[in-house]
Structure 1
Amino acid sequence: MTFEETMRELERLGTAQTRKTYLRHGAPEPVSGVNFGPLGVLKKRIGTDGVLARALWASGHTEARFLATMVVDAPEMPWKELDAWAKGLDWYGLTPVFVSNVVLRSPHAVKALTWTQSKSEWVGQAGWQSLSALLTKTALLAGEDLLPWLKRIEQELPGAKNRVREAMNGALIAVGSTGGAVQAAALATAKRLGKVEVDQGDTACETPDATEYILKIQARKEAKAKAPAKKPAAKKAPAKKAPAKKPAASKRTRARA
């Protein structure tokens, strides 16, 4: 599909209700109002198209940018371009989509953690959400010393920008979910920080309590470990075929007298 065809399709797929929802959550104009179901279908039609993805991203259109993260060839993006996309983020709702669809598929995913040092609200948010995603969805940070991250969170979260605070709170939960001594340190950090306040705007969204979520994750892990392993279903023996019936002997007709 060409850029023009794609933009026309986005306009066609939009609904007033979804547009209203995006705007309420702070999405920048232009917005067509296309939710992720139709975007997923459109992504399948397009496949991977780096040229189209770059044009969609450059458009600044909300759903076009969502779609750009879906069709870009993330494993082939050089760091310089990935970093440029991060610096082009313009609202909190785009950031997790960018992290999930692009950063986690990039060979530069761990390098994205440098964004945690950014003074930009959206770039900083992307950095801390990348930390959460790397801890919960990959093994790239397995064996890494996570205590310095807890120290930074405790020191920097109180004075961080709104959505960076939210992302740092999520990172605290992700670090704590790794278990062991790190989990104990994360719980202690959460206790000292207290309730994290995030302005969620005109939405019903709530900021998760780090202590509560870490303990819930631990409880789920313990329950899973105690659960008896499911036995593999026994394979049914193939049904024996009934022996073929012998054809009935033909009756000889008597010779007529």
Structure 2
Amino acid sequence: MAETTLTGTTVAEVLAELAELEDPKTREVNERHGDDHGVHLSKLRALAKRLKTQQDLGWQLWQTGDTAARLLAILICRPKAFERDQLDAMLRQARGPKVHDWLVNYVVKKSPHCEELRRAWFADPDPVVASAGWALTTDRVAAKPEGLDLTRLLDMIEAQMKDAPDRLQWAMNHCLAQIGIEHAEHRARAIDIGERLAVLKDYPTSAGCTSPYAPAWIAEMVRRQHDR
């Protein structure tokens, strides 16, 4: 029997509702991006809004291993309630891009363990885990760069990004662009690295969207800053 939460909602009931929200076309689109679930995110968010914050239920949903359940768990959990080792284990279990991204951005960034985990993950030999460390570093580059060695970050990007696995490469490229956007003294070198490595130069970009190619990304965001 599924454990009942304080609100009376059980894991089994939530999983049944998620199953009813499953849409084959949504699953097909998601699977092309590496995410094995078929629940439209707007419906997932609506369900989370109805359930409200429920740490115990969220933890139980996470432990099911189901991708949609884990996304819902992230939306209804209490980020500051997790211990450091819990978050580390959860990230290592989160192999799908969307679960990984939401866990880092919606939970870890709000955790008191964020900086400790950033440093640990940044140096992790697992490229998926390391990509989380780079994502958190990119956030610091923009919001709290004090104490970061931006020259060393650029050295690492220059030496490693070209041959990095996709998820790690994307995270390093974002960090490269953020350094160029936020720190004028490093902008020329960031652009030069981007041009020489040409990572994501040919990435398909929809009309009206900014290319992830770092030199183009930097140029566009700096232009917007000047136009303010």
Indicate the TM-score class for this superposition, using the shorter chain for normalisation: 0.7 to 0.9
User: Bigger radius of gyration, 1 or 2?
Assistant: 1
Shift of 1:61: 0.9
Partner residue, 1:77: 82
Identity %: 29
The normalised TM-score by structure 1 is 0.75
1:94-119 Cα shifts (integer Å, max 9, x gaps) = 22211111111111222232312222
Partner residue, 1:149: 153
Which residue, out of 99, 104, 119, partners 2:104? Answer: 99
1:208-237 Cα shifts (integer Å, max 9, x gaps) = 21000011111100111xxxxxxxxxxxxx
Q: Going by fraction, where is helix more abundant, 1 or 2? A: 2
Partner residue, 1:56: 61
Which residue, out of 148, 171, 175, partners 1:171? Answer: 175
Shift of 1:83: 0.8
Aligned ranges 1:7-46 → 2 under 5 Å: 7-28=15-36, 31=37, 33-46=38-51
Q: Distance in 2 between matches of 1:133 and 1:42?
A: 29
Contact 1:176 1:182 in 2 (8 A): yes
Q: Distance in 1 between matches of 2:173 and 2:91?
A: 20
Which residue, out of 164, 175, 186, partners 1:182? Answer: 186
184-193 vs 53-62, greater mean Cα deviation: 184-193
Which residue, out of 208, 232, 254, partners 2:212? Answer: 208
Shift of 1:207: 7.0
Shift of 1:177: 1.7
Please state whether the residue corresponding to 1:102 is helix, strand or coil: helix
RMSD over aligned CA atoms reads: 2.4
Please state whether the residue corresponding to 2:97 is helix, strand or coil: coil
Is 1:221 matched with 2:218?
no
The normalised TM-score by structure 2 is 0.84
Residue ranges of structure 1 left out of the alignment (5+ in a row): 201-205, 225-257
Letter in 2 for 1:61: D
Q: Distance in 1 between matches of 2:61 and 2:140?
A: 26
Q: Distance in 1 between matches of 2:133 and 2:153?
A: 12
Shift of 1:34: 1.0
Contact 1:89 1:123 in 2 (8 A): no
Higher relative contact order (CA 8 A, sep 6+): 1
Please state whether the residue corresponding to 1:94 is helix, strand or coil: helix
Partner residue, 1:247: none
Q: Distance in 2 between matches of 1:61 and 1:97?
A: 15
Contact 1:110 1:140 in 2 (8 A): no
Residue ranges of structure 2 left out of the alignment (5+ in a row): 1-8, 205-209
Partner residue, 2:4: none
Q: Distance in 2 between matches of 1:188 and 1:208?
A: 15
1:158-206 Cα shifts (integer Å, max 9, x gaps) = 2321211111111111222213202233223223322347999xxxxx9
Letter in 1 for 2:112: P
Q: Distance in 2 between matches of 1:115 and 1:207?
A: 27
Q: 1:197 to 1:52 in 2, by over 3 A?
A: farther
Contact 2:141 2:148 in 1 (8 A): no
Contact 2:128 2:168 in 1 (8 A): yes
Please state whether the residue corresponding to 2:74 is helix, strand or coil: helix
Q: Distance in 2 between matches of 1:197 and 1:80?
A: 38
Q: 1:63 to 1:50 in 2, by over 3 A?
A: same
